[in-house]
Amino acid sequence: MSLSTQESALHAAQEPRERLLNAALEGVAEVGWANLTISELVRRARVSKRTFYEHFSTKDECLLALFEAVSSEVLDELEAASQLVPTGGGRVDAGARYYLELLQNEPQIVRTLFLELLALGKEGWSVRRKVMRRFAEFLMREINAAGAEPPIDINVAMLIVGGINETTLEALEEGRVDRLTDLIGPISRVIRGVIAVSGELEEGAKPRR
């Protein structure tokens, strides 16, 4: 069986919803969400409009589903990769490297995670916050396992995730997605700094006069 035939067989075996989400991800990368019509989306997915509306009531609902699916996949891969490295600062560094290398190699994911969703307004922000909290919970567990004493809480983890998101978004806007791994050092430094100073913060040292 030829490669093209194999690809066609694989495509046909996918569930319609999965094909629609894959088509949406490809379309976002090539033309942007605003320019991707439902007609083009179903053409790419090789399904009918009727099939589309069986899964999503609107195009924006499809983007929200794509965001959640992509985010869950990235987080699952990040968690799996982290288990291959012993707990500690080195594991934190490895996690930062894996995450940024993944985004650098998959720019369409960056565009979906950090840019296109913002156009959906309140609903988009709500879904984004829920997903970012999952990332923060993962980061909190890793930092505490690395030795933060006392353990950090979710608010500290959310601050770190917010900083990572903003620097990634800036790289996207400035056309530096191919150099995202340049952020590995700064991100690791911030996280290691949090681990190192967590005890000092707990002591509640009085400000100097």
Instruction: Give mean pLDDT, residues 10-20.
Output: 74
Do 1-56 and 59-203 share a fold?
no
For 67-97, the pLDDT digits (tens) are 999 999 999 999 898 888 887 778 888 888 8
d(CA 196, CA 102): 27
Q: What is the pLDDT of residues 173-207, one digit of tens each?
A: 898 989 999 999 999 899 888 888 655 544 444 44
CA distance 163 to 22: 29
Superfamily for the 59-203 domain:
Tetracycline Repressor, domain 2 (1.10.357.10)
Domain boundaries, the chain: 1-56, 59-203
Give the fold, CATH level 3, of 1-56: Arc Repressor Mutant, subunit A (1.10.10)
Q: Would you state the pLDDT for residue 68?
A: 92
- pLDDT value at position 85? 85
Supply the pLDDT for residue 3.
33
